[in-house]
C-alpha cells in the first residue's frame, strides 16, 4: 500500500506531479523501460547496485577474463575425457566428477559475462531478463556445490561401507542422484523469475536487484547445510584415516615394516589432500555467504557491497580449482587423457610420438602418494 511519507519520485518519475492521473499511471509503467507502478522501481534503481569504482572494475575484470576461460577449458577437458572413456563412464565416482565439471562449465560461462555486463558496461535489463540471467548463475553454482556433496557422499560410502560399496553405489543410482540434483537446482534457481521476488525497491536485497531477502536467506541456508554435510563427510573420512594410521603404527607380528610405512604415507597424503579440499571450499564460499546473511539481516553499506563483488569471484576461483583437486590429479583420468591424445595426435616429440612422451611423464606419478580417489579405492579393492 502506498505510504504518504514515501517521496513521490520513489515510485513515479519527477514529471508525474504535473500529469493527470491517467498520464501518471502510463508514465509510471514505462519510465526508462523499468516497471515502477507495479514494483516501485524508478529509472535509477539499478544504479544503487553499480557501486564499483574504476580501479575495482579493472581488477575484477582482469580476474574474470583470466579465470573464466581457464575454468571453461579445464572442465571441458574433464568432460571430454570422461565422455570418451568407457571404463570411466561406468564408475559412479567419475559420473559425479562429470556433473561437477558440467556445473563449473556453466559457472565459467555465465558468471564472467553477466558480471562484467552489469558492473563494467552498466547494462540495465528488465526485471525478467535480469532474473533469468541471475538464475543461470545461481543454477551453475548450486549445481557445483551439490555435485561436491554427491562426490563427498560417494567417498564416504567407499570408506564406511567398503564391502557393500559396489552394490550400494551403482551407476543407475548415481545417475538418478545427478538427475535429481539438477532438477532441484533448476527449480530453486529460477524461483525469483516465477514470482518469488520483491515488488518494491525498499524491500529488495542490496546485493541483487529485484530479489527478495527471504529468498536469499533460504538459498544461503541451503548452501550452508550442504557445506556442513560436505565438511562432515570429509571429517569422518579423515577420522577413519587417523584410526587406520594409528592401527598401522601398532606393532603386529607378520606385518612388513615397508608395507606399513607405505600405507601410512597414503593415509597421511589422504589427510593432507582432504584438508586442502576443505580449506579451499571454506575460503571460497564462506565470505560470500556471510555477506549475503548480513544483507538479509540489515541494510548493507557501499563498502560491503563492493566487498561482495570481490567475494563473488572467489566462487569462480573455486570452479577453476575443482578440476585440479577432483579430476586432473587422478591417475586414471590422466591415463584416459593420454589415451585420448594418442587417438587424436600424430605429432612427434623429440623423435617419439607425443603419446610416448606423455606416458613416460605419467609413469613418474608412481613416485608420489595416491590422490583422494585412488587412496580410497585402495581400501575398497573389490
CA dist., res. 218 & res. 220, Å (int): 6
CA dist., res. 356 & res. 147, Å (int): 34
Q: Which residue has the higher pLDDT, 202 or 246?
A: 202
Residue of 75, 213, 228 whose CA lies nearest to 145? 228
pLDDT band at 277 (very low <50, low <70, confident <90, very high): confident
Residue of 38, 184, 49, 210 whose CA lies nearest to 128? 210
Q: At what angle do helices 302-322 and 92-119 cross, to 10 degrees?
A: 150
Place of cell 579430476: 327
Q: What 3-state DSSP class applies to 118?
A: helix
Instruction: Decide if pLDDT at 50 tops 50.
Output: yes
Sorted by where each starts, the structural domains of the chain and their CATH numbers stand as 1-43 (no CATH), 51-330+370-378 (1.20.1070.10)
Angle at alpha carbon of residue 213, lines to 59 and 36, rounded to 5°: 90
Residue of 147, 130, 144 whose CA lies nearest to 92? 147
**What residues form DSSP beta bridges with 353?**
348
pLDDT band at 257 (very low <50, low <70, confident <90, very high): low
pLDDT band at 38 (very low <50, low <70, confident <90, very high): very low
Place of cell 569504482: 53
Q: What is the mean pLDDT of residues 176-184?
A: 96
Give the model confidence (pLDDT) of 284-322 as tens digits: 999 999 999 999 988 888 889 999 989 989 999 999 998
Q: What are the grid coordinates assigned to 71, written together?
A: 575454468
pLDDT band at 121 (very low <50, low <70, confident <90, very high): confident
Give residue 132's pLDDT: 94
**Residue pair 100/147 in contact by the 8 Å Cβ criterion:** yes
Cα 180 to Cα 139, 173, 175, 183, 221, distances in angstroms: 14, 10, 8, 5, 19
Give residue 262's pLDDT: 57
Q: What is the mean pLDDT of residues 103-121?
A: 90
Instruction: Decide if pLDDT at 342 tops 60.
Output: yes
Residue of 203, 32, 52 whose CA lies nearest to 120? 52
Give residue 200's pLDDT: 82
Q: Find the helix or strand (DSSP H, E) in which 353 lies.
A: strand 352-353
Q: At what angle do helices 331-344 and 54-83 cross, to 10 degrees?
A: 80
- % helix / strand / coil in the chain, to the nearest 5? 75, 0, 20
CA dist., res. 116 & res. 263, Å (int): 49
Give residue 126's pLDDT: 85
CA dist., res. 183 & res. 161, Å (int): 28
pLDDT band at 242 (very low <50, low <70, confident <90, very high): low
CA dist., res. 159 & res. 270, Å (int): 12
Q: Find the helix or strand (DSSP H, E) in which 131 lies.
A: helix 127-160
Q: What is the pTM of this model?
A: 0.76
Instruction: Decide if pLDDT at 232 tops 60.
Output: yes
CA dist., res. 326 & res. 107, Å (int): 17
Give residue 145's pLDDT: 93
**Residue pair 91/169 in contact by the 8 Å Cβ criterion:** no
Torsion of CA 145, 150, 154, 156, to 10 degrees: 60
CA dist., res. 315 & res. 137, Å (int): 11
The total of other beta-carbon atoms located within 10 Å of residue 189's CB is 20
Share of the chain above pLDDT 90, in %: 31
Amino acid at each position: 500500500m502506498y505510504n504518504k511519507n514515501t517521496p513521490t519520485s520513489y515510485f513515479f518519475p519527477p514529471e508525474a506531479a504535473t500529469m493527470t492521473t491517467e498520464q501518471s499511471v502510463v508514465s509510471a509503467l514505462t519510465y526508462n523501460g523499468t516497471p515502477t507502478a507495479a514494483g516501485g522501481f524508478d529509472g535509477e534503481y539499478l544504479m544503487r547496485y553499480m557501486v564499483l569504482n574504476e580501479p575495482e572494475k579493472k581488477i575484477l575484470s582482469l580476474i574474470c577474463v583470466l579465470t573464466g576461460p581457464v575454468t571453461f577449458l579445464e572442465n571441458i577437458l574433464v568432460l571430454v575425457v570422461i565422455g570418451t572413456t568407457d571404463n570411466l563412464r561406468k564408475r559412479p565416482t567419475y559420473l559425479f566428477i562429470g556433473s561437477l565439471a558440467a556445473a563449473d562449465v556453466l559457472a565459467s560461462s555465465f558468471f564472467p559475462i553477466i558480471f562484467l555486463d552489469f558492473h563494467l558496461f552498466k547494462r540495465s535489463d528488465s526485471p525478467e531478463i535480469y532474473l533469468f540471467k541471475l538464475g543461470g548463475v545461481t543454477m551453475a553454482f548450486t549445481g557445483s556445490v551439490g555435485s561436491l556433496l554427491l562426490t563427498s557422499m560417494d567417498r564416504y560410502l567407499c570408506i564406511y561401507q567398503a564391502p557393500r560399496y559396489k552394490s550400494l553405489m551403482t551407476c543407475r543410482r548415481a545417475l538418478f542422484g545427478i538427475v535429481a540434483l539438477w532438477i532441484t537446482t533448476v527449480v530453486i534457481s529460477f524461483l525469483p523469475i516465477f514470482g518469488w521476488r520483491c515488488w518494491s525497491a525498499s524491500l529488495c536485497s542490496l546485493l541483487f536487484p529485484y530479489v527478495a531477502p527471504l529468498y536469499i536467506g533460504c538459498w544461503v541456508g541451503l548452501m550452508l547445510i550442504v557445506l556442513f554435510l560436505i565438511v562432515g563427510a570429509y571429517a569422518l573420512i579423515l577420522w577413519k584415516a587417523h584410526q587406520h594410521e594409528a592401527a598401522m603404527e601398532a606393532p603386529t607380528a607378520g606385518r612388513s615394516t615397508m608395507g606399513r610405512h607405505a600405507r601410512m604415507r597414503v593415509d597421511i597424503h589422504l589427510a593432507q589432500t582432504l584438508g586442502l579440499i576443505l580449506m579451499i571450499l571454506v575460503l571460497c564460499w564462506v565470505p560470500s555467504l556471510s555477506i549475503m546473511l548480513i544483507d538479509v539481516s540489515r541494510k548493507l553499506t557501499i563498502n560491503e557491497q563492493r566487498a561482495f563483488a570481490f567475494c563473488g569471484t572467489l566462487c569462480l576461483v573455486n570452479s577453476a580449482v575443482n578440476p585440479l583437486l577432483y579430476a586432473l590429479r587422478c591417475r586414471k583420468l590422466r591415463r584416459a587423457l593420454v589415451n585420448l591424445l594418442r587417438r587424436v595426435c600424430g605429432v612427434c616429440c623429440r623423435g617419439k610420438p607425443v603419446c610416448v612422451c606423455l606416458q613416460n611423464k605419467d609413469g613418474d606419478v608412481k613416485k608420489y602418494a595416491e590422490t583422494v580417489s585412488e587412496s580410497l579405492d585402495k581400501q575398497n579393492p573389490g
